[in-house]
Structure formats: structure tokens, C-alpha cells
Structure 1
Amino acid sequence: MGWLAWERFRCNIDCEADPQNCISEKLFFDMADRLAEDGWRELGYKYINIDDCWSAKQRDGAGQLVPDPKRFPRGIKALADYVHSRGLKLGIYGDLGTLTCGGYPGTTVDCVEQDAQTFAQWGVDMLKLDGCYSSEEEQAEGYPKMAKALNATGRPIVYSCSWPAYQGGLPPKVNYTLLAEICNLWRNYGDIEDSWDSVLSIVDWFSAHQDVLQPAAGPGHWNDPDMEKFHVEVFLRPLSQAASALIFFSRRTDMPFRYTTSLAKLNFPDNTVYEVQDVYSGKIISGLKTGDNFTVVINPSGVVMWYLYPMVQPWCLVRQQGPGGGVHPLIL
């Protein structure tokens, strides 16, 4: 997880009139300090991500991307070094096209290898590759090509692809099997805006298409619903070792909502007992049976997240002959 500049700061490049809110090295140095000093890093927020409008309007004489010299006078490498010194990682934005969405130099297919090397030399840890000003054919060639180019640099760089968002987000135009092979995460839908209508439209889209989207995700390759703005709906995600993640999500904006249900109503297996941990509060609920009713209190525009795993039952143990003739229990 991390922090991304786009939703709040967009393409504000007027650093003379608005120095505290423009896209500049100062903004990212400051945000690195906030994540490191205000406790966000320890909660798992590790990435400081630059979005569009960071570069100069032209490539340099060698054809390389360069940051705007007035807004990033020390360069991206110095920024990356500072971010790393705070125990964080730096992400950057590119666009597979003639121009970025904001009108800055894009990464055409013939520049993919060069730009991948540039990002690696700067010490970048993540690349978000947008798709403005490119054709379907260029995207089909360029996104896999960038994956190979990033791997060829020898530097671990998380690769975020916007490719499916430009193809409607769904099969048959979107090949999620291929995406899982080349991308670490991908944008399926439009950008989030600063409104609940925008948040709900994204939630509704992912909910309507979860049967397609959920199987595509897994370790190392994830659906990306864009930035969080923590509204009641329940989302279930099976995890390894028979564990599960549950999210209770309230659409109300006026007052806390008390939601009562049971694991049985959420299609958990019958006659099972669970250990439950509230991910945010740390509260433990031990011995929750599938048929037991429980109540969660969800704040306006808030979320409650649970981590659950089945407690070992006596009938889950069998005895197995050991190498030396001894017998030891085996959990099935």
C-alpha cells in the first residue's frame, strides 16, 4: 500500500502561486516524511507514488525522459534515495503512448527499453503505465514489452498496467491470464473522483463483475480498484490455510450502522468454529460458531475488516506412523 498524488493534486504545476500543493519534489519529500513519522509506514503504507505531470515537456538530447528542472531540481534519483532512507519505496508514472494523459512525453513502443532503464537507474520501485494516446495494437505490443524490459534491468520494479481499463475491463477483450503473467496489478475501471458517487460506482462495478475479476487475482497479480476512500455490503476473500478475509462496508454517510448477521448467512461451512481478529482494532473473537449471530458497528463511510481461520477440531486429527515406529498426530 502507499500514497498516490493524483486524486488530490492532479496536474497542478503552478508552484509559484501554490507551492504547497503543486507537483514538485517538495510534495513528495514531505509525504515521505508523513508516512515515515506519522505511523503509516508501520501500518504497511510503503509506496510514495508520483503520477502524471512530473516530467519536462520534452525529452533531453539523448532521448531520455527528464523531470521538470524547476519543480524537481535535484532529480528523481535524489528523491528515490531520500524515500529509501525513510524505509519507503518510490513509484513513478509513465504512459504507453505519444503523450501522457496530461500532455507530457509518453513512452512509445520504440522507447520502452530506454525508459525502463532510466527508471531503474533512478532507483524507482514501481511503475504505473497508463494508456492515453495509444492504439489497441500498440497496447497489445507495448504492455508485455515493458514487462520484459523492466525484468531485464535487474531491478525489482512493481508493474501496474492500465491496459484493461482501456479495453472495457472485461473478457473477451481483456485477457486476464496474460495480465497475471506480465503485470503485478492492473486498473480495470475509471479513475476515482472526490465524491461518494465515484466511490460507489467503482464498488458496484467490481461487485457486478466479481466472478470474472476474483479468479484473476492472486499473489503477485492483483485487481486495482484505484485509491481507497473509506459505506452495508460484505466482501469475502478466501485465503490460504482455510482462512478468510471479510470486509463490512457501509454506504451510509449520516450515522454508524449496526449490522447483524452470522457466518452461516455468509455461506461459511456448517458446524465450524472460528478465531476472528479485527484487522484494524486488533480485537479477538475466539470460538465464533458458524450459526452464532454477531453485530458489527460500521462508521459512516467506514469499513470493518476481519481475518478468520477455523479453530482445530478434535475430529481433524489422525494418527500417523512415524519413521521410528512412533505415532504422532497429523492435522488434516
Structure 2
Amino acid sequence: MSRFLGFFIFTWTFFVVRSLDNGLVLKPPMGWLSWTKFLCQTDCQRHPMSCISENLYTDMADWMVSDGYLEAGYEYVNIDDCWSEMKRDKNKELVANKNRFPHGIKWLADYMHAKGLKLGIYEDFGNYTCAGYPGSLYFLEEDAKTFASWGVDMLKLDGCYASPSIMPTGYPKMSKYLNSTGRPIVYSCSWPAYEVDAGIVPKYPAIAKACNLWRNYGDISLKWDSIQDIINWYDKHQDEMIPVHGPGQWNDPDMIIAGNPEITVDQSKAQMAIWSIWSAPLLMSNDLRFVPLAHKKILLNKKVIAVDQDPLGVMGRLMFNTSNVGIYIKKMTPFDSAIDQYSYAIVFFNRNKNTQAKVSLNWSKLGLSNPKGYLIEDLFADGPESTPHLAKIEDNFNYTINATGVVMVKATVVLK
């Protein structure tokens, strides 16, 4: 076991494929996105608090500021599908739905910017969006100019109603048009997800040159099995994704759904921990007006967020898996490259749905090798248990992990 784990740890490199050269999202983006929670609800008479409208997004912006999410790093408020009119205007330009967005998108962007937030918007590479609204096919340049004129800060470009065979040329075109506007717009692509669905192996180096972040698997839904399915897929394909992952170019396993009643506190911790080990985008999809306190505490956990936002931007990997317990490890700061000694974030994940799991090893079995030891800190613990303690590599540790839960620690290398 130690030989297996040590091999992987010490063969990690920081080589990353050349990325989209727009200087944006050098750390994984954080924010809020409407889709998983609110989908395409457009009936504002029956559902005034949950319909896709400017009121929903201004409400979420207000809560992001007042409840500490912006201070914690969540800065994007992202519109998803169903925001536009069903047809373009006479000039073939996109227009926001006049009833649900009476002030228009430019006004909404200004509202976000005044609060220190940023606005994201949704479009589709195909003829139509996934919900049947006008798509950007044949209008890529025009739409890029429109989004820039509105002051948009991020574009999610979906891939419904388009052939995956034209995505390797079409998605880079939109990247070019966005950059040519002169406005910094983060570019989120769904390109590889549609290739995977079609049985095509994504060419991630080309994707990384065109996109800042990209979805590569199916949509998350409000249930634990969906989170587990995404984790399983990422575990299986991690060797393809790790070399292209890093500052300015991020694999996106989809939205954080902590704060929704469909998942437990332990499951919320598990998703937040593993997404952070991956240095994944942290884009919540929940109703910030009704997030339970225990879930809010997870979403605002500064120590876990710091793992996600570590400047090295390393995508951690599943290092070992036994008895339904997965052990994930991520290199991070502080470090001393001259002596090849790094700090690590480590997640012990119990996949069992009904029973606790116990892990008992010594730190050397995980490949930790610094003779001066490490300061070990439990990132979800409270009180005295949260105080870092010194551990030597030959020391044993024992953790009990709740069903569908995690233990997450940081091992900070002792250099002096």
C-alpha cells in the first residue's frame, strides 16, 4: 500500500497544458448558479419567489452580500437557461424576456457590480438552448458583442441542438469573439460533456486553449446518488483530466448543492470536501434565503475554501480505495520545492450509505515523507479538536467516518 501511494504522490508534476490566454479565473471561480435549484420555472404569477426573473437574481445577490458569501469568495451570480425572449429582435440580437427582466440584463449587471459581484449568463452553441430558447449557432460574434455591451462577466455556453462534430471548431470561435470584445468574460464550455455523451474522447489540450472551465459529465441533480455518480466518473477519468487542470483552466464537475433539503449535512461536507480537493469551481445552486445553518457553515468554511482556492491549483486525485473508503490527496502550499516537500489536503470518504467506516494507518502509508513531520488539522472539526497537532510520519492516526461522509485534514509541512 505505501509503495503504491508513494509512487503516485512523488510522480505528480505541475506541468499544465497551455491555457486560454485571457488571464481570468487563476483560482477556481466561486459563486451561485440558478439551474439545479430553479430549473426553467417561468410562471411568476404562481411562483413569484422561484421563477427565472431579475427579482430572483437580485434577491440572491443581496443574500450573498448580507450572509457573508461574497466575503468568503463567492462572487459570481449566474443566470442559466430561460432568460431571453423566444425570438431574437428585428436586428437578430438576443433580448431578455420583457416581463421577467423588465430592466434588461445591462441593468442587472450594473446591480451586481455595485455590490462587488459579477454577473454570468447562459447561452447555447446550438440552434436552441436546452429549453428551446434562441441559441447562438450562426450568431456567435453578435452574441459575444451583446454580452460584452451588457457588462456580463461570465458566459456558460451549453451544447444542446448541436452536433458534437462541429464543437471543436465552434467553441474556439466563441472564445475568439469574446476575447475580441475587449471585455474580460470568463468562458465556461459544455463541449466535452457532449463529446462524452456521443462516445468521443475529449481532446482536453484543445479545450483548455479555448475555455476557462468546462463541464465533462452529466448535470447534477438534487440527490446524493447524483453526487456519487459524478465522483465515480471523475475517479475513473482522473488521469485524463489532471494534466490539463490548473490556473485559468478548470474541470467543472457541476454545481454545489449543499443548502438543499434533499441531501444531509454529512453529504454536503463530502461534496464540498471532494470538490475542494479537485480545485473545482464552487458554484452553488440553492435558495440562499432558506439555507439551514449547518449547511451554511459548510459553504462558508474558510479552511475548506482555502484548499479549493490554493494558488497551486492542483487537481487532487483518488490515491487509494478499499472497503468503500476512498482516500484523496492534493499537493498544496506551503511547500519547499528545493527539498521536494509539500503540504497536503487529504479527504477520507466513506461511500457506504448506512454504516460508519474506520481508517487506521500511519502517515507514511499515504506517502508523506518529511522527517520533521506535519501539522495535522481537521478542517471540519470544532473546538479543541480543530487545533493543529504535530505528527511524525511514523505516527498512527485513527478516524471514524460517518456514512456518506468525510474526514478532511490538512497536513502542513514543517520546514523549520
1:178 aligns with 2:278: no
Amino acid at match of 2:143: D
User: Residues 288-307 of structure 1: matches in 2 within 5 Å?
Assistant: 288-296=391-399, 298=401, 301-307=404-410
Q: SS at the partner of 2:330? A: strand
**Separation in 2 of the partners of 1:254 and 1:120?**
50
Asked whether the 8 Å contact 1:98–1:134 carries over to 2, the reply is yes
**Match for residue 236 of structure 1 among 310, 322, 329:** 329
**Separation in 1 of the partners of 2:209 and 2:253?**
19
User: Residues 316-327 of structure 1: matches in 2 within 5 Å?
Assistant: none
Distance 1:274 1:152, change over 3 A: same
Matching residue of 1:125: 153
Deviation at 1:304, TM superposition (A): 4.3
Amino acid at match of 1:168: V
The structure richer in helix per residue is 2
Distance 1:86 1:298, change over 3 A: farther
User: Residues 245-284 of structure 1: matches in 2 within 5 Å?
Assistant: 245-252=345-352, 259-269=359-369, 271=371, 273-279=373-379, 283-284=386-387
**Separation in 2 of the partners of 1:40 and 1:248?**
26
Matching residue of 1:38: 67
Identity of matched residues, % = 49
**Separation in 1 of the partners of 2:380 and 2:146?**
39
Asked whether the 8 Å contact 2:346–2:409 carries over to 1, the reply is yes
Asked whether the 8 Å contact 2:376–2:411 carries over to 1, the reply is yes
Matching residue of 1:51: 80
Matching residue of 1:165: 193
Deviation at 1:135, TM superposition (A): 1.3
Tell me the alpha carbon deviations over residues 51-94 of structure 1, each in whole angstroms, 9 at most, x when there is no partner.
11111101111111111110111111111111122221111111
Moved more, 201-210 or 279-288: 279-288
Larger Rg, first or second structure (1 or 2):
1
Q: SS at the partner of 1:243? A: strand
1:193 aligns with 2:286: no
Tell me the alpha carbon deviations over residues 187-232 of structure 1, each in whole angstroms, 9 at most, x when there is no partner.
0100011111111110000011111111221111111100124254
Amino acid at match of 2:109: A
Distance 1:217 1:29, change over 3 A: same
Deviation at 1:258, TM superposition (A): 5.6
**Separation in 1 of the partners of 2:225 and 2:176?**
38
**Separation in 1 of the partners of 2:62 and 2:353?**
31
**Separation in 1 of the partners of 2:357 and 2:50?**
35
Deviation at 1:142, TM superposition (A): 1.2
Relative contact order, higher structure (CA 8 A, sep 6+) = 2
How large is the Cα RMSD of the aligned pairs? 2.4
Q: SS at the partner of 1:168? A: helix
Distance 1:86 1:300, change over 3 A: farther
1:219 aligns with 2:319: no
Matching residue of 1:208: 236
Amino acid at match of 2:95: V
Deviation at 1:300, TM superposition (A): 5.5
Aligned residues: 312
Matching residue of 1:99: 128
Distance 1:276 1:46, change over 3 A: farther
Amino acid at match of 1:233: G
Distance 1:292 1:192, change over 3 A: same
Matching residue of 1:144: 172
TM-score of the two chains, using structure 1 as the length reference: 0.86
Q: SS at the partner of 1:213? A: helix
**Separation in 2 of the partners of 1:138 and 1:20?**
39
Amino acid at match of 2:207: L
Asked whether the 8 Å contact 2:217–2:253 carries over to 1, the reply is yes
Matching residue of 1:318: none
Matching residue of 2:414: 311
Distance 1:67 1:236, change over 3 A: same
Distance 1:183 1:304, change over 3 A: farther
Distance 1:74 1:233, change over 3 A: same
Matching residue of 1:328: none
